[in-house]
Structure formats: structure tokens, C-alpha cells
Amino acid sequence: MTSTEEILIANGQGFWGDSILGPVRLVNEGPLDYLTLDYLAEVTLSIMQKLRSRDPSKGYATDFVRLVDRILPELVEKDIKVVANAGGVNPHACKDAILEVARRHGLPLSVAVVEGDDIFHDLDRLMEGGEEFSNMDTGAPLSTVRDTVSSANVYLGAFPIAEALSKGARIVLTGRGTDPGLVLGPLIHEFGWKEDDFDRLAAGTVAGHIVECGAQCTGGNFTDWRSVPNLAMVGYPIIRARADGTFQITKHEGTGGLVTEDTVRHQLVYEMGDPANYLGPDCIAHFTSVRLEDLGDHRVEVSGVTGAPPTSTYKASISYHDGWKSTGQLTISGPDALEKAKLCAEIVWQRLAYDGFEYGPEERMVEFVGSGVCHAGIPGATSDDPPEVVLRMGVKGPDRAKVDRFGTELVPLVTSGPPGVTGFAGGRPKATEIVGFWPALVRKDLIQTSVEVFETA
């Protein structure tokens, strides 16, 4: 537990693929106590599981290793601790790669691994014990797709992260956990919050939720985008947190972007279900209790957050094979572009039908990008005569050969369709796997977590 009155926690990664400059600049451009990095999404874990099945040394966010290689000397010099879910489905392989980076730099490093979220190999045992893993959307039992499951992880809470920090880890690696937990863990550790401090745990959950998408709360993806200065050098968010659960959202001085009550409020309602009962493994947070105050100079005060005890279950994120899909696109240009694009789509379906391949309405997709498909129905959003249209077509279904056959009829439109067809350099679209998402619940008492710390020799 810290003796200081506040700590600085920043999030430099909103998803696997976010700019590496986010965390690099957070470390270099101002003071920081903790750097959190969020790499995981539901489909990401399925991809990682497949990579690991092909190569036992894979299955984690390799971008994280490259980032640590770039910033490790600064992390050590400035005594910044890192919490990242980059471990994916193979946190030990990620840990080994990080320790090797430290050895190359000649720097001492302690890396903690939090485990317990990956239940892929325990599914049958858990199901035999009575867990149905019923789909939270449809109510169907997991047994209906069990043979095609590719990954299964539970969203762990923040206390194992706090435990790892208490054991002296500079870098904490997790697999699947809640996104806000990356921030809540350091707060629990620094301020000594207990499992029944529900108001403070809720405040930490809100803090983590606001920054979990990186620059999306500091001007990125903001409706009033013209008001955001220097978006190219947008500052990633920083939490100035206090032991009583109050905190500020800010960014490093002199960086681009914008932190106002509106930018914070936009992110606050992101992926929101019931705002009065935001469920997490550590607490239930009442987002309706949140109070925002714009202090100016890119500082927003957050206070008043209340919480309640958590439920007795974890949410499980399960991925499974759900068939095949194929999508492709062409650009249709010149006069009457939209009319020509519609003819192109009909030509594709008719040629496929002639060869014995027909697709029902639920199996096929056609979009005319440029004519107003993204905001269809909004007055002024549509156009009947655009100068060019991107024709996007796709099919899906359980038969891979049938899905693949679609891709061979798109490119021929360049010479056997109406004039003005271009944009075919990508070649024929091919069938790719559809990864289905299966949300479910599992009893907490059936899940065991562990924390182990490793150090450079």
C-alpha cells in the first residue's frame, strides 16, 4: 500500500492493433506510476488458441513483447509498473519472451503470471459436474456446439492482479479478465481496498471503464471532432486516483486531444447495459451515481460512485466454429454507378444459380457503399447518383465449398459486366471461418486462480 495521496495510472492500448505510440508516449512524455494495456477481445482469444494449437510457443499478443523491448529501460528508470492482458491463452510463453527481452537489455525484471481464466481444457469436467454454460442470449446449452468450441475463458477480477503487485512484480501478465480490472488491480494494491469496499471498487471499475478504449475518452471517435486539437498526437488517458475512490481523468501536458465532461461522458456509456447495475466479478457498479465535473485544462473530476456486492458467477467468453463466410468488393465508377452496381450484384447471383449454387436471403449480403448504407434511413444520408460506388458482396453458410464458389464470380465482372468496374487487385475472395461468440455464466467457486512471479536470472 502506498503512502502517497494519489497515483497515476494510464491506459495505452485499447485493443490489439492500437497504435504503439500510445504507450510509448505515455512513458516518455510525463510522470506515471502504472501503465495498463488492453489487448483482448472475445474473438482474439479464439485466434490465439488456434495459434497455440499449431505452435506451443504462440498464443499471446506478440505486439506487447516488441513494446517492452522498446520501453523497458524507461520503465525501470522511472519505476513504472505494467499490467497487461497480453498473456492471452499462453501467458507463460509471453512471460518467457519478456524475460528474454530483459536479459538482452541487461536489466533485472520480475514478471507475474495470473492464471485461472482459461477453462478450455476443463469444459467437459465442468459440464459433467452440472454446468450447462447456457447461452446468455438464447438460453441454449453449450452441449449443442461443444464439438466446435475453440476457446473458453472466464473474466477474472482484479484481486489476483493486486496480489501479483504485492509480490513485487514490475510487469503483470494476465489472460482474460475484465477490462476495468487492469486499472482496479493497481488501485486495490496501492490503497489497500478490501473485497467488501464496494463503493471504492465500483469507483475503480468506473475509472477503468472510462480509459479501457484508450484515446476514445481523450478526443478519439468523438462526435464533435472538429473541436479536438492535434488529433495526430492525441494524448492517451491518465487517471489521477485517490484512496477515497475519487479520481480525475486527464492526459499528459502538451499532448493533443481533448478531455472534457463530454469526451468522458461519451466513453462512460460505451457498451452499457443496465447503467444502474454494471456487473463485474469484484462488484456491481452503479453508473447512475457517477458525478462529473469539468475542472478545465483537460481535467475531469469523477466522484460519488457507489457499488454493491458482486454476483456469485463469472462471465465466460466461449468461441466456437459457426460456419464459413466469404466477402469481396469492387469499385463501380462513372455515370449511373449505383444502377450498374445493382446490375453487377444480380449478375453474380444469376451466374451462381445457373451453376447450381443458390443462397437464401439469410446467407447473402449486398451493400452499395457510397449510396448511404452506413446511415440508411437518415434524411440526407442517401444518394441516388454517386460518382462511384463500392459494391460489397458476401455469403455465409456451413458448406465451405459453396461459400468458396461465390468468390470466383466477383472478379469476372471486370470484363463481363457493365463498364466502370475496377478495384479487383485483391484477387478472389476465399472462404474464411466464422467464429461464433457464446456468452455464459459459471460459478465462481469452481474457478481457481493462481499467481506466480518470475525473475531474470
Flag whether 127 is in a domain.
no
275 shares a domain with 221: yes
pTM reported for the whole predicted model: 0.92
Residues 79, 205 within the same domain: yes
In a domain, 449, yes or no: no
Collapsing DSSP to helix, strand or coil, 274 comes out as: coil
Distance, in Å, from the CA atom of 384 to the CA atom of 357, rounded to the nearest integer, reads 31
3-class SS of residue 334: coil
Residue 31 CB-half CA count within 13 A: 5
Final residue belonging to a domain, choices 244, 278, 311:
311
User: Both 96 and 245 in a single domain?
Assistant: yes
Contacts of residue 90, defined as CB under 8 A and 6 or more positions apart, other chains included, come to 48, 52, 56, 57, 58, 59, 60
Task: Note whether 1 and 190 are within 8 A (CB).
Answer: yes
Is 148 contained in some domain? no
* Within a domain: 53: yes
Rg of the chain over Cα atoms, rounded to whole angstroms, equals 25
Distance from C-alpha of 439 to C-alpha of 124, rounded to nearest angstrom = 17
Last residue in a domain, options 281, 311, 341? 311
pLDDT at residue number 35: 98
CA dist 190 and 248 (Å) reads: 17
Question: What does the angle CA 314 – CA 318 – CA 323 come to, to the nearest 5 degrees?
Answer: 160
Cβ atoms of residues 103 and 455 within 8 Å: no
Q: How many other CB atoms are there within 10 angstroms of residue 60's CB atom?
A: 29
**φ, ψ for residue 300 (rounded to 5)?**
-125, 120
Cα separation values, 404 from 29, 347, 408, 411, 435, Å: 50, 17, 7, 13, 17
pLDDT in tens, the chain (457 residues): 444 589 999 999 999 889 999 999 999 999 999 999 999 887 788 788 888 888 989 999 999 999 999 999 999 999 999 999 999 999 999 999 999 999 999 999 999 999 999 999 999 999 999 999 999 999 999 999 999 998 899 999 999 999 999 999 999 999 999 999 999 999 999 999 999 999 999 999 999 999 999 999 999 999 999 999 999 999 999 999 999 999 999 999 999 999 999 999 999 999 888 999 999 999 999 999 999 999 999 999 999 999 999 999 999 999 999 999 999 999 999 999 999 999 999 999 999 999 999 999 999 999 999 988 777 777 666 677 889 999 999 999 999 999 999 999 999 999 999 999 998 877 889 999 998 999 999 999 999 999 999 999 7
- Those residues whose C-beta lies under 8 Å from the C-beta of residue 236, and which sit 6 or more positions away, are 10, 11, 12, 22, 23, 25, 26, 214, 215, 218, 251
Q: 40 with 167, same domain?
A: yes
Task: Report the half-sphere exposure of 45 (CA within 13 A, side-chain side).
Answer: 31
Domain of 333, CATH number, reads: 3.30.70
Side chain identity at 237, as an amino acid letter? P
> What is the structure's pLDDT at 382?
67
Segment (H or E) for 54: helix 42-54
- Where b means 16+ CB within 10 Å and e means fewer, 419-428 reads ebbeebeeee
Q: Which of 284, 311, 338 is the last residue of a domain?
A: 311
- Kindly state the cell numbers that stand for 314: 463469472
Quick check: is 401 in a domain? yes
| Same domain for 375 and 307 | no
Q: For residues 250 and 332, state if they share a domain.
A: no
350/420 same-domain check: yes
Looking at the fold, whether 368 and 388 belong to one and the same domain comes out as yes
Pairing of strands 284-286, 306-308: antiparallel
DSSP single-letter state for residue 425 = T
443 domain residue, yes or no: no
Q: Is residue 451 part of a domain?
A: no
Closest CA to 160 of 446, 447, 440, 442: 447
Q: Kindly state whether residues 431 and 300 are assigned to the same domain.
A: no
Query: Do 360 and 426 fall into the same domain?
Result: yes
| 37: in domain | yes
Instruction: Identify the DSSP state of 177.
Output: B
> What's the gap between Cα 64 and its chain centre?
14
Residues 275 and 299 in one domain: yes
Domain that holds residue 426: 322-437
**Same structural domain for residues 91 and 235?**
yes
The tally of domains found in the chain comes to 2
